[in-house]
Amino acid sequence: MVQYYPANIDRSFAALSDATRRGVLEQLGRADASITELAAKFQMTLTGMKKHVSVLEQAGLVTTEKIGRVRTCKLGPRQLAEEAAWLENYRQLWDARFDELDQIVEELKHKETADGCKTRE
């Protein structure tokens, strides 16, 4: 069965797919920062950092505020609840599959042990 998820989940995962953007979120989790400060921290140009911040902002993960000539970034209002629920569904699915696989492996071990005892007699 095909399920369709809101576009904001796609934007969130696209934003989170980049290591720099994940690093920016981690940094902003500690303290608000200007784009200039973030660019320096990640050793990139202001233009490059603006692009990363823009992707995060479109996903609702970051908000920016311009005060004078400085654009300050902070964590956005999105808390990734939908994304966490989506991941949890797959975690449960994989846990169930691995539990079934463990059961099959145990059955094969018992059968192998039983077959080994019969051939030695």
Q: Are 93 and 99 in contact (CB under 8 A)?
A: no
pLDDT tens profile 95-118: 999 989 999 999 888 888 877 766
pLDDT tens profile 26-77: 999 999 999 999 999 999 999 999 999 999 999 999 999 999 999 999 999 8
Please say if the pLDDT value at position 1 is more than 50: no
Q: Are 24 and 62 in contact (CB under 8 A)?
A: yes
Take residue 53 and report the two structure tokens written for it.
């911040």
Residue 104 and residue 102: Cα distance in Å, rounded? 5
Q: Which of 8, 39, 36, 3 is nearest to 23 (CA)?
A: 39
Residue 27's beta-bridge partner residues? none
Residue 61 DSSP symbol:
S
Report pTM.
0.72
pLDDT tens profile 75-89: 998 878 888 888 898
Q: Are 28 and 64 in contact (CB under 8 A)?
A: no
- The phi and psi torsions of 6 (rounded to 5 degrees) equal -55, 150
- The phi and psi torsions of 71 (rounded to 5 degrees) equal -100, 115
pLDDT of residue 119: 56
